[in-house]
Amino acid sequence: MRMLGRSWCWGLCLFGVQVALLSANEALDFLEAELGEEEWADQGSVEEVGKGEKKEVRPVLMDPSLPGRWDPELMALLPVKIAQPGAEEVALRGLYEWRMDHGDLDIEGGPDGEVDSSRSRRMRLGVALKTFYEAELQADVLFDGEADYAGIETLLARVPVGDSLLVSAGKFPPPFTLEYTQDAAVRWTRELSPLVAQMVPASSLGVMVQGQGARWDWKLGWFSGDADRDVPSWCGQGYLLAGLGYSGYGAVPVGAAAGTASWTRWHLDYIYNFDGAESRSVPMGYEHLLATGVQVSSGRFDLMNDFLLAHGETSRAWGMTMTGGYWLMEDALRLVTRFDYAKSGDEGGILSGWGIPTSGSEAAQPFSYPTVYRGGELFSIYGGLDLHLSDRNLILSSGLELRTLSDVVGSGDIQSLIWQTGGRVAF
């Protein structure tokens, strides 16, 4: 069982790496052809203005390097304008997710365990406000149990400066790694990858500047070392977050079917934790955290992967996560797979959690499971189907996760096969 599981994991990993490298090479070939925005725009439509006279209409590309399905947040379903004429509007934000997990933990040399639970995974309600000056205010409150208040996830203000800068300030999850940058309402899988959940800091007070160019994007921010369910304090020296990205896109070939354009984006994120083991926000006492990977889209196929590294005085870990999606039925039925690998040379340097975390835990720390074991090496592979009943606003999903945790502290190796099913409603 263990060898078979590892063979599946490594086979999927190698296949995913080959696909990522192939897509990246195609993007590089495209960039070498030096197809710029002007040539892309030249493919615009032509409309008649008068007899014998034609006018070229160039398509407006908000961000030609990023498909809409990669948006890190869900677009408001029913925004309401509160001022006319102008761009001032307000919208409610909501997210509810229910999930059921069922399976067994096979513990070598010890009593086996069981995962059998169903509960509300996330309950969130918030509001987003856009002002005349394109500034945005956002607040999200989490609920737990019987709709009990469980904390503030986001209390954020965003202000654009010119055409290419965006300044953000308040309490919000730091945009570190591809998965954690995505809001919970648009993530491909219901939970963060094990190593990502172990590494990423809690939602905390911070100030961040982001820049966007034709191809390059960057970010630089400082966040407090405190963590609190409500509003953290400006505690300690905090940590510094820096990021860099590069995007490329391919035009639709002449005569090709719609949806065949390709997008590729590479990113590099880095965190330096000034507080070290004293930080309440950065977990495990990590001082240096690094994430780099690619996003690829081509037709019905999407892929994102990250190579992860975390280093501290007493704990070190590294690994990778790779998530792929393929539309079996366009915008309706999607196959989602994910492979994770994590390794640490320290005893108990890798955390693995089973069960359904509480909704309020995300206000203080992303990693919060009812059952947790520590080990030295982890393999995980997930495969499932997502049924989109209303775009990304209503999704039903079901899938299986096979996981192996080796060099477990206090017991033998652990294997599990967990069936996960549930639904998500977001607006």
Strands 377-390 and 333-343 come out as antiparallel
Asked if the structure places residue 419 within a domain, the reply is yes
Per-residue pLDDT at 93 exceeds 70: yes
Reply yes or no on whether the pLDDT at 228 is more than 70: yes
Other CB atoms within 10 A of residue 17 CB: 14
**Residue 78 in domain:** no
pLDDT tops 90 at residue 244: yes
- 34 pLDDT band, cuts 50/70/90, is very low
Range of the domain at 27: 2-72+93-119+179-205+213-426
CATH number of the domain enclosing 114: 2.40.160
Q: Where are the alpha helices (DSSP H) in 61-184?
A: 178-181
The pLDDT of residue 260 is: 52
Q: What are the backbone dihedrals phi and psi of residue 40, each rounded to the nearest 5 degrees, phi first?
A: -60, -45
Query: Residue 53: is its pLDDT beyond 50?
Result: no
Overall number of domains in the chain: 1
* pLDDT value, residue 131: 86
- CA-CA distance, 204 to 374, in Å (whole number)? 26
On whether residue 141 sits in a domain, the answer given is no
- 166 inside domain: no
Vertex 416 angle, CA 415 and 418, to 5°? 170
Q: Is residue 41 part of a domain?
A: yes
Q: pTM of whole model > 0.85?
A: no
| 164 within a domain of the structure (yes/no) | no
Predicted pLDDT at 363: 78
Does residue 232 come out as left (phi exceeding 0), alpha (psi in the -120 to 50 range) or beta?
beta
CB of 352 within 8 A of CB of 367? no
Q: Is the preceding peptide bond at 85 cis, omega within 30 degrees of 0?
A: yes
Residue 145: inside a domain:
no
Whole-number Å distance between alpha carbons of 45 and 58:
7
In this structure, is residue 354 part of a structural domain? yes
